[in-house]
């Protein structure tokens, strides 16, 4: 899968260094993945929440942070939309 929005990941880890290792691991796994369906993504990340319009929420570091992405399976693209603390996530609409 190709990740779009890496700068958001970089900026987030500069501010939240404790999430850096998790995000690095996630990047490596996503780049190596070839998910064709939501079920394949959920098989690897069973705690990821599926929202509408191919949008997914990942819990980072024991649910301390959240990451919202959009996955386009047919194009093999993962778009990083936003990251934040759990408190910030509660305010997202």
pLDDT digits 0-9 by tens, 25-47? 999 999 999 999 999 999 999 99
CA–CA gap between residue 50 and residue 61 (Å, rounded): 19
Question: From CA 16, how far away is CA 34, in angstroms rounded?
Answer: 28
Query: Where in the sequence is the domain holding 57, given as residue range(s)?
Result: 2-91
DSSP β-bridge partners for residue 68: 57, 82
In tens, the pLDDT along 3-18 reads: 999 999 999 999 999 9
Number of H helices, E strands in the chain: 4, 5
Residues 6+ apart with CB under 8 A from 23: 9, 12, 13, 60
* CATH assignment at residue 55: 3.30.2310.20
Domain count, the chain: 1
Instruction: Give residue-wise pLDDT tens across range 45-77.
Output: 999 999 988 999 999 988 789 999 999 999 999
Longest dimension (CA), the chain: 33
pLDDT of residue 74: 95
Identify the pLDDT of residue 61: 85
């Amino acid at each position: 899968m190709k990740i779009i929005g890496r700068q958001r990941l970089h900026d987030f880890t500069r501010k939240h260094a404790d999430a850096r290792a998790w995000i690095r691991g996630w990047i490596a796994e996503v780049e190596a993945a070839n998910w064709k369906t939501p079920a394949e993504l959920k098989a690897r990340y069973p705690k990821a929440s599926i929202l509408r319009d191919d949008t997914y929420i990942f819990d980072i570091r024991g649910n301390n942070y959240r990451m919202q992405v959009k996955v386009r399976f047919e194009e093999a693209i993962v778009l990083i939309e936003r990251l934040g603390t759990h408190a910030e996530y509660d305010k997202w609409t």
